[in-house]
Amino acid sequence: MFDLRDLYQEVILDHNRSPRNFGRPEESSCQARGYNPLCGDRVTVYLVIEDGKVADAKFEGRGCAISTASASMMTELVKGKTVADAEALFAEFRRMCTEDEDGAEEPPEALADDVEYLRVLSGVRAFPLRVKCATLAWHTMNAALHGDDETTTE
Ligand code: ZN
């Protein structure tokens, strides 16, 4: 049985205690605000895009441990990626958090390490309310890339 305690693994607690890339860049190419009304999580994601790549990614906001850890991990992973890879990783992460992985397609080879890194968060599948917490920052990052300045996970 998957236990709620298993969700709060050390890597998540560590990212929550000391979030990476927390703050606001001096200038950003795009940004978006995200809100998860089910839990009250709020996040703003700032992206600096240069030559089709995410040159910098930062976030601000407050929320539960899962939403903060997920935002922290998201900024770590998308930084340095092409916009296309950041979108592909978003799609893969969302699938991991919402669908049964049995029989699922293998993630793109180039993203395999990142997918493995994110696996610690995919335990939210067992807790539907927590899925919104885990995917909020990713939805918000994706919204920023697509020029939407606001997103709400419902
Ligand atoms: Zn939350």
Distance from residue 150's CA to the centre of ligand 1 (Å): 17
d(CA 52, ligand 1 centre) in Å: 31
CA 68 – ligand 1 centroid, Å:
8
CA of 110 to the centre of ligand 1 (A): 30
pLDDT at 103: 56
**Cα end-to-end distance, the chain, whole Å:** 27
- pLDDT, one tens digit per residue, over 2-15 is 566 677 788 999 99
With bands split at pLDDT 50, 70 and 90, how would you rate the model's confidence at 101?
low
Write out pLDDT tens, residues 111-127: 999 999 999 998 898 88
SS3 string of the chain?
Answer: CCCHHHHCCHHHHHHHHCCCCECCCCCCCEEEEEEECCCCEEEEEEEEEECCEEEEEEEEEECCHHHHHHHHHHHHHHCCCEHHHHHHHHHHHHHHHHCCCCCCCCCCHHHHHHHHHHHHHHHHHHCHHHHHHHHHHHHHHHHHHCCCCEEECC
Compute the distance from residue 128 Cα to the ligand 1 centre, in Å: 11
- Please give the average per-residue pLDDT across 134-153, as a whole number: 91
pTM of the model as a whole: 0.91
Dist. CA 67 → ligand 1 center (Å) = 5
For the chain, how big is the Rg over CA atoms in Å? 14
C-alpha 25 to ligand 1 mean position (Å): 24
